[in-house]
Amino acid sequence: MDPFQIQKAPVQYDVAIVGSGAGGGMAAYMLAKAGAKVVLLEAGGYFDPADPKYITQLKWPWESPRRGAGTTRAFGDFDAAWGGWDIEGEPYTNAKGSDFQWFRSRMLGGRTNHWGRISLRFAPDDFRRKSMTGVGEDWPIGYDDIKPFYDRIDRMIGVFGSVENMPSEPDGIFLPAPKPRLHELMIRKGARSIGIPVIPSRLSILTKPVNNERGACFYCSQCGRGCQAYADFSSSSVLVKPAMKTGNVTLINGAMVREVITDPATGLCTGVSYVDTQTLQEVTVKAKSVVLAASAGETARLLLNSKSSRFPTGLANSSNVVGKYINDSTGASRSAFVPALMDRKRYNEDGVGGMHVFTPWWLDNKKLDFPRGYHIEYWGGMGMPAYGFGWGIEAMNGMIPGRDGKMHPGGGYGASLKDDYRRFYGAYVGMAGRGEPVPLESNYCEIDPNVVDKYGIPVLRFNYKWSDYEVKQAKHMQETFEEIIHSMGGIALGDKPNAANNYGLASPGQIIHEVGTARMGNDPKNSVLNKYQQAHDVKNLFVVDAAPFPSQGDKNVTWTILASSMRTSEYLIDQVKQKNI
Amino acid sequence: MKRRDSLKALSLTGFGLAVNPVEAAVPAPPDVKPLKIPGGRQKFEAERDARLNAEKFFTPHELQTVTVLSDIIIPADERSGSASQAGVPAFIEFMMKDQPKNQTPMRGGIKWLDNTCTKRYGKSFVLCTKAQQIDMVEQIAYPSKAKPDMTQGASFFSFMRNLTATGFYTSQMGIKDIGYVGNVPNQWDGVPADVLKQYGLAYEERELTQGK
C-alpha cells in the first residue's frame, strides 16, 4: 500500500472531538446525548478497567517481576497510565534554562485513569485573582456561571466530601466521606492545635452508588490502577462508555491528530487530519464543528501546527496568545517518621484511593509575601508493600532506641534488622503542598523549529521558569510542613529543603496540572477563546480541556474541566439550534 | 518474508543475481513465537519482560554471593523464612536487567567484597567461614561507623540491604510477615475502637452519624 495515500472518510460528522480525557469525554457524552453524530479521536489505545485484559487492580506485588517498580510506568507497574513523562518516539524539548516535564497518557480516558480523584470547585475568588492582587488574569466568567454545572456533575458523577461553609472551598452535593485513618486523625489533631484546618477530602469516588451502571467503592485504595467496579471517576468508564451506548459516537483509537483543517474561503473548520498510529496512514475526517480536548499542551501544539495562508501563526491565534501563560501547580513535599506509630496493631486501613483528609488554603495572602495559596495533601499508613519498601532504613533505625531500650547505629543485618522492618511499618506520614502559580506570558510552549515526532508532527518546545511568587510559596510550605510534623510528634525526614534547591519546588509539569495555553477572555486581542471556550477567530472551533483556563486556583482542575466542558457543549448545541454555526 | 527465504535471497546476492536491495541489506528478523500478553500489561512491556527473562546477568559465583548476603540480611526466624526462601536472589537478578544502572554498583560491589575478603581471610566471601563472613559484614553494615577503607563496602551493603528488604517484603512470605492484611474488597468503617483508645483519639460526632 502506498504509505502517502490520504484516506478520506466518506461521512461528515456533526462534531469531531480530539482527546477522550475529562473534557473530551464530557463533550462526547453531552453532544451524543443531544443527538449529534460525534467522532471521538484518541491517540492511545482502548482501555476498560473491568476487562481482564487491562486489570491491575487487586494484584499483588509479586505478580510483577519488578515488584511494581516504575521502570516502564512512571507511577509503577500496576498504575493505569499508559505513557508518562517520556514516551518513545514522542519527544518534546525545552529551551535553555527551562525544565518543563510533560506527562501524557496515551489511552482511552487519558490522564483521568490514574489521577488522584481530587475534585475541588473553584471558589468565587479563584475567578478574579487579578482584580484582587494586581497580578495574573481574571476569568471572563464567575462562580455563578459555573456553579449549576458543578452541581450537575456532583450528582451525575459523584463526589464525597463534607459541608464546611468555607468561602474559599465551596461545598458541593456530597456523598458521605470515609472516616479518617489513624495517621490522619493524628495529623488533624496536631495541625488543628496550631491553627491549621484539616477537613475531609473531596474525591470522585462512590462511597454510595449513584446509578445502576457503576458500583460502590470497596476500599482497596487503588483508584490509580483503574476500578473494575467503575466506582471512581475516569472519563473512559463514566463518560465515553455511556456516550457510545447512544449509538451516536464513533470512537477511533490510535488517532494522533496532526492538524485541524479549515476552509480557506470561510475560515471555518471542516474537520481534522490524523496519523493512524498503527498503519501510519494519514486520515482526514470531516465535521461541522471541531472540539479540542487533547490536553493543554497537545491542544496548543495542534493549533500552532494548523497553519494556513489564512492562519499564518496557527489556527485561532491572531492574538498570538496560543501557547503562552502555560502554568502548572506548584508542588513541594516532606515526609516524616512518627515514633508513636511504631509497633502498630495490624488491620486493613487501605481506605479509598488517596487521602481521607486535606488542608484547604487557610491564610490571607495580603499578609504574606506571595500572592497565591496552596492546599496540603497527606499520605501514610499501613499500605501494601511495593518496590522501595524498607529502602533507606540505615537512616532510620539509628534514631530510635531498639527493643532493648538502647541506641544502635543505623543499618545492621539479621534478626534485629528484620524486627526493625516490622516495628517501622506504617509509622511514616507525608504531606505535599499543591499551590496556585501566577500565569506569566514569559512561560510558554511553542513549536520547536527543528524536531518532529515519529509521526512527523513538529513537537512542542517549552519555556518555563518559576518566579519568585512560587518559590516564596514553596518556602512557606516547607515551614508549614515542619510545624505540622512537630505538632503531631513526628520527626521530619531528610534535610529541610532550602533556597539552594528552591525549597523543594517541583519542576513545572511534574504535578501534571498544566493549564492556560489557549486562555479565554472577552478581548480577542489578548485571548484565544471567548467566555464559552469558542475560538474568537473560528466560530465552529471549541476547546474543552484546561487550555482555556486563565488560572487554576489551588484547586485540582478536573472538576472545572468537566463543568466547563458541559457548559461549552450545551452552548454549542444551542448555537447549532439557533443556526449560528 | 520468512527467515529461510531471506537467507535464500542473501545467497543469491553472492552470485550477483538481482534481488531487492532493501531486503538484502536488512534481513528479515528470525521467526518468533507470538507472545501471550499477560493481563494488565502493554504489548511493549510484555515483550520487554520476556526478553529480560531470557537474559542472564549474574555469574554462578555472583548469584551465590548475593544469596549468602541476602540471607545474612534477612535470615529465617520463628515468624517467616529467609530472603532466599522468599525468592530474593531471583528478584535482584531481574532488577539488574530491568534497571541496568544497578549493574556496576552490584557487580563492582561483589568484586570489592571478594577483594577485601581475600586480603583479610585469603579467600573470596562465599568461601569464608560463617564467622569470617559475619566479621566482614560487621565492618560494612553500619554506614555511620564504617572505617575509611570500608566506606565503599558500606555503600554496597546498604544497596544489598535495600534490594533484599524490598524483595522479601513484597513476596507472599514477606507480606504475611509484615502483617499487611489489605488488598481485598472490604468496608472501611474507621479505626478500630481499641486502637482509637490506645492513641487517645476519637471521631467527631458528624463522622459517626453521616450516611446513617
Residue B209 pLDDT grade (very low, low, confident, very high; cuts 50, 70, 90): confident
Residue B108, number of CB atoms within 10 A of its CB? 12
Average pLDDT over residues A491-502: 97
Is residue B160 within 8 A of residue A417, CB to CB? The reply is no
Residue A454, number of CB atoms within 10 A of its CB? 14
Cβ–Cβ contact B201 with A under 8 A? yes
In tens, the pLDDT along A392-448 reads 999 999 999 999 999 999 999 999 999 999 999 999 999 999 999 999 999 999 999
Examine the pLDDT at A581 and tell me if it is beyond 70. yes
B116 and B93 assigned to the same domain: yes
Look at residue B211 and tell me if it is in a domain: no
| Percent of chain A surpassing pLDDT 70 | 98
Look at residue B185 and tell me if it is in a domain: no
Residue B207, number of CB atoms within 10 A of its CB? 18
Average pLDDT over residues A87-115: 97
Task: Chain A: give the shortest CA distance to residue B70, in Å.
Answer: 9
Instruction: Return d(Cα A164, Cα A169) in angstroms, integer.
Output: 8
Considering only CA atoms, which of A216, A271, A263 is closest in space to residue A7? A271
Is the Cβ pair B142, A220 closer than 8 Å? Answer: no
Look at residue B24 and tell me if it is in a domain: yes
Task: Chain A: give the shortest CA distance to residue B56, in Å.
Answer: 14
Of A54, A60, A398, the CB nearest to B40: A54
B100 and B139 assigned to the same domain: yes
Look at residue B194 and tell me if it is in a domain: no
- Closest residue in A to B142 (Cα) is A411
Look at residue B212 and tell me if it is in a domain: no
Instruction: Return d(Cα A496, Cα A519) in angstroms, integer.
Output: 37
Residues of A in contact with B192 (CB under 8 A): 345, 347
Is residue B53 within 8 A of residue A65, CB to CB? The reply is yes
Domain of residue B119 covers 53-178
Cβ–Cβ contact B209 with A under 8 A? no
Query: Residue A293 carries which side chain, given as an amino acid letter?
Result: A
B71 and B105 assigned to the same domain: yes
pLDDT of amino acid A48: 97
Examine the pLDDT at B202 and tell me if it is beyond 80. yes
B8 and B91 assigned to the same domain: no
pLDDT of amino acid A219: 98
B162 and B92 assigned to the same domain: yes
Cβ–Cβ contact B102 with A under 8 A? no
Task: Chain B: give the shortest CA distance to residue A191, in Å.
Answer: 14
Those residues with Cβ within 8 angstroms of residue B204's Cβ, 6 or more apart along the chain or in another chain: none
Look at residue B206 and tell me if it is in a domain: no
B80 and B173 assigned to the same domain: yes
pLDDT of amino acid A347: 98
B39 and B109 assigned to the same domain: no
Task: Chain B: give the shortest CA distance to residue A176, in Å.
Answer: 6
Quote the pTM value. 0.94
Cβ–Cβ contact B5 with A under 8 A? no
Residue B29 pLDDT grade (very low, low, confident, very high; cuts 50, 70, 90): low
Is residue A50 within 8 A of residue A228, CB to CB? The reply is yes
Cβ–Cβ contact A400 with B under 8 A? no
Q: Where are the alpha helices (DSSP H) in A158-211?
A: 182-193
In tens, the pLDDT along B119-159 reads 999 999 999 999 999 999 999 999 999 999 999 999 999 99
Those residues with Cβ within 8 angstroms of residue A259's Cβ, 6 or more apart along the chain or in another chain: A272, A273, A302, A305, A306
Considering only CA atoms, which of A510, A142, A113, A525 is closest in space to residue A333? A510
**CA angle (A453, A455, A459) in 5-degree steps:** 30
In tens, the pLDDT along A44-91 reads 999 999 999 999 999 999 999 999 999 999 999 999 999 999 999 999
Cβ–Cβ contact B187 with A under 8 A? yes
B170 and B96 assigned to the same domain: yes
Number of domains in chain B: 2
| Percent of chain B surpassing pLDDT 90 | 82
Task: Chain B: give the shortest CA distance to residue A533, in Å.
Answer: 35
- Closest residue in B to A392 (Cα) is B162
Range scoring the smallest mean pLDDT among A367-376, A395-404, A412-421, A507-516: A395-404
Look at residue B27 and tell me if it is in a domain: yes
- Closest residue in B to A414 (Cα) is B73
pLDDT of amino acid B3: 45
Is the Cβ pair A66, B199 closer than 8 Å? Answer: no
B64 and B26 assigned to the same domain: no
Residue A281, number of CB atoms within 10 A of its CB? 16
How far is the CA of B155 from the CAs of A66, A88, A412, B184, in angstroms? Answer: 22, 33, 13, 38
Task: Chain A: give the shortest CA distance to residue B122, in Å.
Answer: 24
Is residue A253 within 8 A of residue A46, CB to CB? The reply is yes
Count how many pairs of residues, chain A against chain B, have C-beta atoms within 8 Å: 205
In tens, the pLDDT along A204-263 reads 999 999 999 999 999 999 999 999 999 999 999 999 999 999 999 999 999 999 999 999
| Percent of chain B surpassing pLDDT 70 | 84
Of A66, A219, A411, the CB nearest to B94: A66
Examine the pLDDT at B1 and tell me if it is beyond 60. no
Instruction: Return d(Cα B4, Cα B8) in angstroms, integer.
Output: 6
Those residues with Cβ within 8 angstroms of residue A211's Cβ, 6 or more apart along the chain or in another chain: none
pLDDT of amino acid B35: 87
In tens, the pLDDT along A526-559 reads 999 999 999 999 999 999 999 999 999 999 999 9
Q: Which three cell numbers stand for residue A381?
A: 499508613
B70 and B29 assigned to the same domain: no
In tens, the pLDDT along A447-486 reads 999 999 999 999 999 999 999 999 999 999 999 999 999 9
Per-residue buried b or exposed e for A540-577, using 16+ beta carbons within 10 Å of the residue's own CB: bbbbbbbbbbbbbbbbbbbbbbbbbbbbbbebbbebbe
Residues of B in contact with A412 (CB under 8 A): 141-142
Question: To probe the interface with A, which of B49, B139, B170, B172 has the most A CB atoms within 10 Å?
Answer: B170
Examine the pLDDT at B22 and tell me if it is beyond 60. no
Q: Which three cell numbers stand for residue A234?
A: 475516569
Is residue A414 within 8 A of residue B76, CB to CB? The reply is no
Query: Residue A387 carries which side chain, given as an amino acid letter?
Result: Y
B143 and B39 assigned to the same domain: no
B29 and B62 assigned to the same domain: no
Look at residue B196 and tell me if it is in a domain: no
